[in-house]
Chain A
Amino acid sequence: MSLRTTALVAGVIGVLLLVAGLVADAQRPPREVTPDAAVDTAVLVYEPEMLAFAGDNRIGVSGAGEIVGLTARPADAEAWLADHSVTYVTGMPDWETLSTTAADPVEPSPSPSPSGSASASASPSPSPEPSPSASASPGAEGEDEAAPVDIVSETSEDHWRDDFRGTERLSVKGSDVVAGEVLVIVSTDGSPLTSTDLKQTRDVQDGWITPLIWWGAFLTAVGVIALVLRFVDLRPAQAKGEEWINKRQRVADGDEPDPGSRRARREAGEHLPETSLDEDSVVSARSVESASPSSAPSAEPPSAEPPGADSPSAAQPDHDDRGEERP
């Protein structure tokens, strides 16, 4: 496979990678998500487990009018919530939605006694004395319809520990609520809240997209170059170039160098250094080499040295380590 064919194959692969990278980039999921849920009660509850789940993320609640977030001990909150229609946020099943459950007010169990007292209060009504109260009660009902009741202040507020306030939108960081406490979010005028959401930051495994795009672009460029070179004939331009280079050369192959010129000296070997090859200098070098072993007395075992030996340096290689002579 020629280089050009390989480049063309790389180009095709590059196009595929580039397309895949661009498609993935366009479909890249957002890192910040806000799962939400619709709410249709005036009271919304985030219990301690859900607040721990939220952590440092922000809880948002939307509605009409003033919205108040109140915290309380679980036992106190439970007792207060028993008299109200409540939506509990229970979890986050996926990245898009929050799960909720609704609870209606707990009916008082001793129902006979309230009915008895109601009949007792109703019985005096025909008598003349209670007539002012009878005339007052319809007026009061009319006022109730006109002016909504603040469902927070209509009962004791002694058990609320902390509060967060907003208009039409309340945002509370989960960690701002003391661990173990319940967050009760109330539309003070009693109108239903509309939605709640919980901002989340998630890990998106998209680190491969950008390198894929760059590699795709690079390989595509290689392929494009190879493709261009396939359809464009460069041989005339190449011949012109070679001719131009030859013209630039002053000396032809068969020309003799000018005498005395640097080329002539180079061809004559003038640039090589002069070396001395006379015999004296060789002898003196040998004497230095032969004298140096005898000047080291520890290197020669005296017992093994034969008397009258001419040259200790020549006899030494014939002895082993123990001073014995080798055959």
Chain B
Amino acid sequence: MRSRIVTVWAVTGLGALALAGCVADVPPPVTSAPELEATGALLEPQSDRIVDLTMAELSAADRARSTDGLTDRVGGDAVTIRGVQYTLAKADDGPSPVALPSQMQAVYVSAAETWPRTMVTVSEQADDDSTPVVMLWVQEDIATDYQMRNWAHMIPGATLPAMPGPSTGAPQLEMDSDAVSPSPQEAVESYIELLRAGDGSDLDETFAPDSYRERLFTARSTLTDAANEADGEYVETVQPSIADSFAMATADGGALVFAPLTIDSSFTVEDATVSIDEADQPLLDGELDDTVTHSYLDFIVIHIPGADAEDGALPGVVAAEHNLIRVSDS
């Protein structure tokens, strides 16, 4: 009898404990990641922050007329070009550095998940006499900041193509990508070939007209004539820098190609001493005799139309900057 009572009490207690432990099972794990809402590399607050920090660094350097402060957010050719502009600005009646507006009317971000990756902005017009400025930022790896590497004023009358928005980002294209025709590298090399050959080249008809090469050809013609009159010689060499070039896909399946290039203009006369503009004197390296070479660090933006573009649309330069960086005596 006693053992029966003990059994009853034990069963009661254990039953209560067992029932008290009745809780729902642990929820099952989520095995697939939800889709990312914004796949672009940078959202608007991020790109705004990058632009603001860049412009703050640039304005501090402009005030100091020194590139010493251009360390984090401004790099590459932009430092070289800005340094030349500071040198010119320090001279008597020297020109002020090129105005780079801090207000942007468009920002194109990359969708790339690898490096290097780019960000491109189109600024507001600084004044009525200038066109909007296309600026290129590059991030080399995850640990380094986006740096503004180059800029170029838009060609008057040119129109930039529609680009994917920040929520998706623009695909970053390899220079030899066959996603567009011609490939970015082919487009740059063909344009460089056109610059070398001059306006009589067959390649002239494969690119849309632009004022950049017109001015270049005009200057070349003038200097060639001057050299001929002095029994001299004018030689112009144009070199692209494919390794520092980038391409981003446009919304219509085309591409925007950002390509720096160097141009060396060598002017030689016989039995005479060449002279240069007074404004370029601060950039002179050496003592002039019968030869002078002007070195330029240029930057062009080529638009390659997509497959959906209207018939007859040609690749064309939509922005370009011609920057004199050095004058040498050889």
Contact = CB atoms under 8 A, between A and B. Distances in A.
A203 B23 contact: yes
A156 B20 contact: no
Interface in B14-46: 15-17, 19-24, 26-27, 29-39, 41-43, 45-46
Contacts of B143: 80, 83, 155-156
B145 interface: yes
Given A161-B46, A179-B36, A29 B21 contact: yes
Nearest to A181: B36
A203 B25 CA distance: 9
A53 B19 CA distance: 28
A122 interface: no
B142 interface: yes
A80 B34 contact: no
B151 interface: no
Nearest to B32: A49
Contact of A73 (B17, B29, B113): B113
A178 to B, nearest CB: 6
Contact of A156 (B16, B21, B39, B145): B145
Interface residues of A, number: 45
A158 B146 CA distance: 7
A93 interface: yes
Contacts of A25: 20
Interface stretch (A205-213, A228-236, A309-317): A205-213
B142 A79 contact: yes
A41 B31 CA distance: 25
Interface residues of B, number: 43
A76 to B, nearest CB: 6
Given A91-B29, A155-B143, A206-B20, 15 more contacts: A19-B9, A27-B20, A48-B34, A49-B29, A49-B30, A52-B33, A52-B34, A53-B30, A73-B36, A73-B41, A75-B114, A156-B143, A158-B49, A179-B35, A209-B19
29 contacts: A16-B8, A19-B13, A20-B12, A20-B13, A23-B20, A24-B20, A25-B20, A29-B20, A29-B21, A48-B34, A49-B29, A52-B33, A73-B36, A73-B39, A76-B113, A76-B142, A79-B115, A83-B143, A94-B26, A155-B143, A156-B142, A158-B50, A160-B46, A161-B45, A178-B38, A180-B35, A181-B36, A206-B20, A206-B22
